[in-house]
Amino acid sequence: METDILLDIKGLSVSFETDEGRVQALDSVDFQVGLGQTLGLVGESGCGKSVTALSIMRLLPKPVGKITSGRIHFQGKDLLELSADGMRQVRGNEIGMIFQEPMNALNPVRTIGDQLSEVFLLHQEIGVKEAWFKSVEMLHDVGIPASDSRAFEYPHQLSGGMRQRVVIAMALACRPKLVIADEPTTALDVTVQAQILELLQTLQKQLGSSVLLITHDLGVIAETCDEVCVMYAGRIVERASTVELFANPRHAYTRGLLSSIPRLDRIPKTELSTIDGMVPGLSDLNQGCRFAPRSGKVHPQALLDQRSPLQEVTEGHWVESCPLCSNL
Amino acid sequence: MNAPEELLKITDLRVHFPVRGGIFRRAVGSCKAVDRVSLVLQKGQTLGLVGESGCGKSTLAKSVVKLVEPTSGSIKFKNQEIAGKKAQNNFRKNVQMVFQDPAESLNSRMTVGAILEEPLDIHHIVEKNVRSERVAELLEQVGLSRSAANRYPFEFSGGQRQRIGIARALALQPELLVLDEPVSALDVSVQSQVLNLLMDLQSKLGLTYLLIAHDLAVVKHVSDIIAVMYLGKIVEIGPAEEIYLKPAHAYTKALISAIPIPDPTKKRKRVIIPGDVPSPINPPSGCAFGHRVGSSLYPESVGKKLDMEEVSTGHFVLQCPCCT
């Protein structure tokens, strides 16, 4: 069903200029986000989750970060071909973004009502008064009590959870088709995390938006996403519906991740299973199977030199087809 | 002496910080970071301390290693008082701390060897000529190679740095380790390696842990006893299994239900706590949690002195009309 796809990313590669030369942060990433769907991107630090989000928004740090190949189709148009002006029309209007650390995403010297109005003033042809009125309404929608007086407050006057609500209000102000949430709850306490996730889900239902949720927390994924992409060292190694992925993880990395998290129902004080070694640095990546050094299996040179393509094992369940790291 | 030895006993501990205001910077109020906390830690046990940010977990930990001077109350380590100005300082080598962010708690200009030798030097416990041998031993104990001693912290990954932090804490062969969020800065796959190391060291060296973490699944996995803190007070303390299976305080229940479970087939009814933790500078006069959730029984708790009561062996709950 081609028509139901909102965001279609094909062969996206991104590289960064560093002191050690060019490093590849994303290597030919493909995925689609369906209309109204929540897609989770999960992986450890440095695997390219955030770079993916920034590439979609075309916010990669210039001039070090560069999209070297691929295309990002959003509602039929290629975002990479838009002019800077055209892209500005998309950002905040059609695609909203929620950042990890709400304190850094807000301007400390302007009131929250002021910052929120800016979104309306930029994207809708309305006056300052009406924009303010809409901002107050939006703050109310994200559950900020006494929003008409709160709109006059500065970010430092709000708690972490409230600040994240403001950031969500800004991202959703123009009722975007797609919301990119980059670790929206990582900086928050569990109880506030539960509030924020609930809020996101309610608003998503109301607006019918699609969400691209980036997180390292598999618990959050399990509770909110329809489909999951597991990323490792700049690549997607496995993609499946959430239920399928948790029930039948095929890639050794996914299995390792799932079994290494401490769970409430696990027998306490027993040894946790681990993934040996550590996440590889981006400067010393091979072209073939990147999980090889941690898989505990000796890979023949051919598998280290040549990337195994993603293969669909059961319907909708894709896995990088390295014969040693995945159950095909 | 009876079999389980009391290693750490905290009684009625208060840590209040003055809030200064006005042109003379006089104390105009106080921030009750830790308020009437009592707990006992037996030798060889792990006590997990959980709670939201700002509830006083870290302040409690810091007062145990004497980085913060308590306002009142007593902290006894092996029956010796360590709180107060007159207290002896010789307990310090027996109580060591592992910090949250290994990148910030290791001096980036010192080699790992120098970092590990420093405590030995300060406490004069290992002869100079055998120190490097002791350093190598420590590194091997935490799963690093001997050659790591000549390298600098930046050459290591997050997980390895945390191992160095643990090695430094072990240098003086302490009996009690205070672990302040030891794995929260680490990636999932590395987190389990460090947790395994901690559990392994505990059984080998007979260590006692005071573990602070906000990840309840982590705490549940490694702790014998769990204490739940809310706004400077312990609201519930008891055996780990029991706290999870039979939480008695409304806050504990809500906290447990807020943990996302990594299993998409389990759809649960979550108890969503509205609002945020109130400020410890001006806390509600009654039960702080009842106030937050807007409990109809909240007025009953106003002005009452809330006390801990034992509901079953070793399981204490803060008694209040609206939460228990």
Q: How many CA atoms lie within 13 A of A188 on its CB side?
A: 30
| Residues A256 and A146 both lie in one domain | no
d(CA A216, CA B260): 12
Token duo for residue A184: 């929206």
DSSP B9: E
Residue A237, in any domain of the structure? no
- Could you tell me the residue range of the domain that residue A277 belongs to? 246-328
| Residues A35 and A150 both lie in one domain | yes
The answer to whether the CB of B18 falls within 8 A of the CB of B71 is no
- By Cβ distance, the residue of A190, A195, A266 closest to B259 is A190
Q: Does B281 touch chain A (CB under 8 A)?
A: no
Residue A122, in any domain of the structure? yes
Q: How many CA atoms lie within 13 A of B292 on its CB side?
A: 21
| Residues A220 and A289 both lie in one domain | no
- By Cβ distance, the residue of B159, B216, B260 closest to A223 is B260
Quote the number of domains for chain A.
2
pLDDT beyond 50 at B219: yes
Instruction: Check B262 against A261: CB less than 8 A apart.
Output: yes
The answer to whether the CB of B70 falls within 8 A of the CB of B38 is no
| Residues A205 and A287 both lie in one domain | no
Q: How many CA atoms lie within 13 A of B119 on its CB side?
A: 23
Q: Does A103 touch chain B (CB under 8 A)?
A: no
Residue A240, in any domain of the structure? no
| Residues A213 and A255 both lie in one domain | no
Residue A236, in any domain of the structure? no
Per residue of chain A (328 residues), what is the pLDDT tens digit? 445 899 999 999 999 998 888 889 999 999 999 999 999 999 888 889 999 999 999 999 988 999 999 999 999 899 999 999 999 999 999 999 998 888 889 999 999 999 999 999 999 999 999 999 999 999 998 988 888 899 999 999 988 888 999 999 999 999 999 999 999 988 788 888 888 899 999 999 999 999 999 998 898 999 999 999 999 999 999 999 999 999 999 999 999 999 888 888 888 888 888 888 878 888 878 889 999 988 888 999 999 999 999 999 999 999 999 999 998 8
Instruction: Check B52 against A190: CB less than 8 A apart.
Output: yes
Q: Does B190 touch chain A (CB under 8 A)?
A: yes
> Any idea what the CATH number is for the domain that residue A17 is in?
3.40.50.300
d(CA A190, CA A193): 5
pLDDT band at B3 (very low <50, low <70, confident <90, very high): low
The DSSP bridge pattern shows strands B46-50 and A317-320 to be unpaired
Residue A65, in any domain of the structure? yes
Residue A18, in any domain of the structure? yes
DSSP B226: E
| Residues A94 and A182 both lie in one domain | yes
Token duo for residue B41: 């830690």
Residue A272, in any domain of the structure? yes
The answer to whether the CB of B23 falls within 8 A of the CB of B54 is no
The DSSP bridge pattern shows strands A235-241 and A317-320 to be antiparallel
| Residues A189 and A311 both lie in one domain | no
Give the CATH fold of the B6-318 domain: Rossmann fold (3.40.50)
| Residues A278 and A181 both lie in one domain | no
pLDDT beyond 50 at B1: no
Residue A260, in any domain of the structure? yes
Q: Which of A19, A12, A117, A21 is nearest to A54 (CA)?
A: A12
* Chain B contacts in chain A segment 192-231 (CB below 8 A): 192-195, 197-198, 216-223
Q: What is the mean pLDDT of residues B196-203?
A: 94
Residues of B in contact with A44 (CB under 8 A): 187-190
| Residues A56 and A111 both lie in one domain | yes
The DSSP bridge pattern shows strands B26-42 and B176-180 to be unpaired
H or E segment to which residue B255 belongs = helix B250-257
| Residues A178 and A310 both lie in one domain | no
Instruction: Check A268 against B241: CB less than 8 A apart.
Output: yes
pLDDT beyond 60 at B318: yes
Strand order in the sheet with B176-180: B95-98, B176-180, B208-212, B46-50, B225-230, B233-239, B315-318, B308-312
Q: Write out chain A in H/E/C secondary structure.
A: CHHHEEEEEEEEEEEEEECCEEEEEEEEEEEEEECCCEEEEECCCCCCHHHHHHHHHCCCCCCCEEEEEEEEEECCEEHHHCCHHHHHHHECCCEEEECCCHHHHCCCCCCHHHHHHHHHHHHCCCCHHHHHHHHHHHHHHCCCCCHHHHCCCCHHHCCHHHHHHHHHHHHHCCCCCEEEEECCCCCCCHHHHHHHHHHHHHHHHHHCCEEEEEECCHHHHHHHCCEEEEEECCEEEEEEEHHHHHHCCCEHHHHHHHHHCCCCCCCCCCCCCCCCCCCCCHHHCCCCCCCHHHHCCCCCHHHHHCCCCEEEEECCEEEECCCCCECC
Q: How far is B80 from chain A (nearest CA, A)?
A: 30
Cα angle B61, A264, B233; round to 5: 30
Its pTM stands at: 0.88
